Amino acid sequence: MKDDIILSTLTQAEHSIDALDLARRAADYVTLEVGHIPDDAYIRDFFTATPPDLGPECLLHFGVMEGPAMVGMICIAEGYEYPDDWWIGLMLIDPAFRGQRIGHRVVEKIKRRATARGINMLKLAVLTANPRALKFWHREGFVHHRDAPATPQSDGHDRVVLKYQL
Ligand SMILES: CC(C)(COP(=O)(O)OP(=O)(O)OC[C@H]1O[C@@H](n2cnc3c(N)ncnc32)[C@H](O)[C@@H]1OP(=O)(O)O)[C@@H](O)C(=O)NCCC(=O)NCCS
């Protein structure tokens, strides 16, 4: 088995270039979600976009490090939808490293960190157009929370919100 992965804090000032590089490698998913390959605005959003009614201090950003290589990135919003929820806004693994249980190990680490911080529930929204991700999250123990269909104001994607009780 390979060395374990490490979740390392990312900052906009220091890691925007690394994040854009990773997002470009994972352009398959980014294009599915936002309709174009990742650009600077996508990375700005990754670092700064907040859920309704929360400020930027709620955001946590991690790089998934396998040795010196950043093979994934994650954004979490603390306090959405409830104060003791962690909302996983994005989890992206480089396609060259998918299917090697890295995602599983990342989720295990997120669960441990969230528990240590007194978080009660993990939540996230999956695109219904992304059935492999849905299968992944179900295998990690997440269950259906609610449907979040596209609205006239939204980006046009139907989503399913999943939850994991810690
Ligand atoms: C979903 C994702 C984070 C899982 O990470 P991972 O390291 O590939 O996951 P694991 O190796 O632990 O588990 C593999 C499982 O993930 C799922 N999976 C989803 N997309 C996958 C992909 N493109 N390639 C391989 N596995 C994928 C499958 O269920 C797969 O199981 P299978 O091999 O039996 O089909 C990762 O594949 C990814 O970044 N996908 C694109 C972005 C995305 O969909 N993010 C989630 C948004 S909610």
pLDDT in tens, 98-117: 999 999 999 999 999 999 99
99 lines ligand 1 (CB under 6 A): yes
The residue with tokens 């009614």 is 53
Strands, E assignment, the chain: 6-9, 59-66, 69-78, 85-93, 121-127, 143-148, 159-165
Boundaries of every domain in the chain: 5-118
102 lines ligand 1 (CB under 6 A): yes
60 lines ligand 1 (CB under 6 A): no
Superfamily of domain 5-118: Gcn5-related N-acetyltransferase (GNAT) (3.40.630.30)
Six token digits for residue 77: 């919003």
**Model confidence band, residue 2 (pLDDT cutoffs 50, 70, 90):** low
Half-sphere exposure of residue 125: CA atoms within 13 angstroms, side-chain side: 15
Six token digits for residue 14: 């220091």
Q: Three-state SS for 155?
A: coil
Six token digits for residue 83: 């104060």
> What is this structure's pTM?
0.95
